[in-house]
Amino acid sequence: MEISYSILPKLFCYKYATILTMDIHGLKVFASVFKNKSFTKAAEEIHLSQPTISDHIKALEEELDCKLFDRLGRTVIPTKEAEALYSLAEEIIEKATNVKDIIGQLKKELKGELTIGASTIPGTYLMPSLMAAFQKKYPSVSFQIFISDSKEIAEKVLKHELLLGVIGMKLSNEQIHHIPFIEDELIAVASPHSIKTSIMTLRDFIKFPMVLREEGSGTRRELERILENRGITLEDVKIAGIFGSTDAVKQAVKAGLGTSILSEYAVIDELKHNILKEIKLSDIQMGRKFYFITHKKRTLPFLYNTFLQHIKAIKTDSKNI
């Protein structure tokens, strides 16, 4: 393997050292002369002057070092070499003509895989239904959702490992483009058995031991921000446990390990079935936003842009309802 590695650059060098004057335009001129058996007719067809055609053929003849046409006064007759060149030239011209079409089509193509990095809440509770709706509209689209915490998603977007992310916080990085997505309400929850009161102040609530997400989490960060606004730090809070997933936190709260403050999307089912109990905080509203994030320097494939427009449309629709 090491040998082939060291030889490779030389091969490239060789390949590019070969001066290839031949261009597609010249081949088109040749093909036209070949088909018309006339320089003048080719000139009319390609809308160039006859001397220009002569020039092109001369250049090709010099480059290939062989006569391509026998000029016999009224007609020209292609040589054996010209016959061979014609089929090759047609292939090249066709391929080159296709390029524009293929790229043009690609620019409008609504199929392929949409890879999105998502933090826990959007990845687990929001993306699935979005994916379903989008895929219904564009059946040839498949999704790959990479779930991690907000910090890692942001890093991957910055390192160009991901083109698109959804996270629960706004970043200060100038390179990141934020597209507001959806509002989320953070809700204080406890086990139904552990706390009887269903309304209290934030300061009262944090007297109970709490179960939290780990540090990179958007939910955790949002919580810290809210407490900080009230002059409270996490050091004032009695932490009963830290878990790496929202589900684990929910299990811990259910088991009575402590209270928590979680996304409404994460606990909507548990509240409905009385597995968890909402503690209304009388003095605070804990809203936060989710954002789609992209790197400002990256060009998004059409499919990704369409997806983002779809999201924007949904947002507008739901606002109007």
Partner DNA sequence: AAGTCAAATAGATAATTTCTATAATAAATC
Partner DNA sequence: GATTTATTATAGAAATTATCTATTTGACTT
Which residues of this protein are in contact with its own copies, per CB under 8 A?
12-13, 15-18, 20, 22-25, 28, 32, 35, 45-47, 63-67, 70-72, 77, 79-81, 84-85, 88-89, 91-92, 95-100, 102-104, 106-107, 160, 297-299, 301
Nearer to its own copies, 91 or 185 (CB): 91
Q: Report the nearest approach of its own copies to the CB of residue 109 (Å).
A: 9
Strands 277-278 and 176-190: antiparallel
Terminal Cα distance for the chain, rounded? 63
> What is the spatial distance between Cα 282 and Cα 201, in angstroms, rounded to a whole number?
5
Q: Select the binding partner of residue 90 from its own copies, DNA, none (C-beta < 5 to 8 A, by kind).
A: none
CA distances to 99, 127, 181, 217 from 122, in Å: 39, 6, 10, 12
What phi, psi does 194 have (nearest 5°)?
A: -80, -35
Angle formed by the axes of helices 24-36 and 80-106, nearest 10°: 130
| Of 163 and 267, CB closest to its own copies | 163
Q: Which is nearer to DNA, 71 or 280 (CB)?
A: 71
Of 75 and 201, which CB lies nearer to its own copies in the complex structure? 75
Query: What secondary structure letter does DSSP report for 259?
Result: B
Least separation, in Å, of the C-beta of 284 and its own copies?
42
Report the nearest approach of its own copies to the CB of residue 141 (Å).
14
Helix (H) or strand (E) holding 63: helix 50-64
* Closest to its own copies by CB, 3 or 72: 72
Q: Which residues bind DNA (CB under 7 A)?
A: 23, 25-26, 38-41, 47-52, 54-59, 71-76, 175, 297
Q: Quick one: what does residue 59 bind among its own copies, DNA, none, with the CB cut-off 5 to 8 Å set by partner type?
A: DNA
- By a kind-dependent CB cut-off of 5 to 8 A, residue 100 interacts, out of its own copies, DNA, none, with its own copies
| Closest distance to DNA from the beta carbon of 65 (Å) | 16
Return the biggest CA–CA distance within the chain: 108
Residue 92's binding partner among its own copies, DNA, none (Cβ under 5 to 8 angstroms by kind) is: its own copies
Place of tokens 């002057």: 49
Identify what 154 binds: its own copies, DNA, none; CB under 5 to 8 Å per kind: none
CB 169 within 8 A of CB 222: yes
Residue with smaller CB distance to DNA, 25 or 137: 25
Closer of 35 and 230 to its own copies (Cβ): 35
The C-alpha atoms of residue 277 and residue 273 are separated, in whole angstroms, by 9
| Shortest spacing between CB 48 and DNA, in angstroms | 4
Side-chain-side CA neighbours of residue 223 (13 Å): 24
Pick from 234, 223, 148, 224: nearest CA to 184: 223
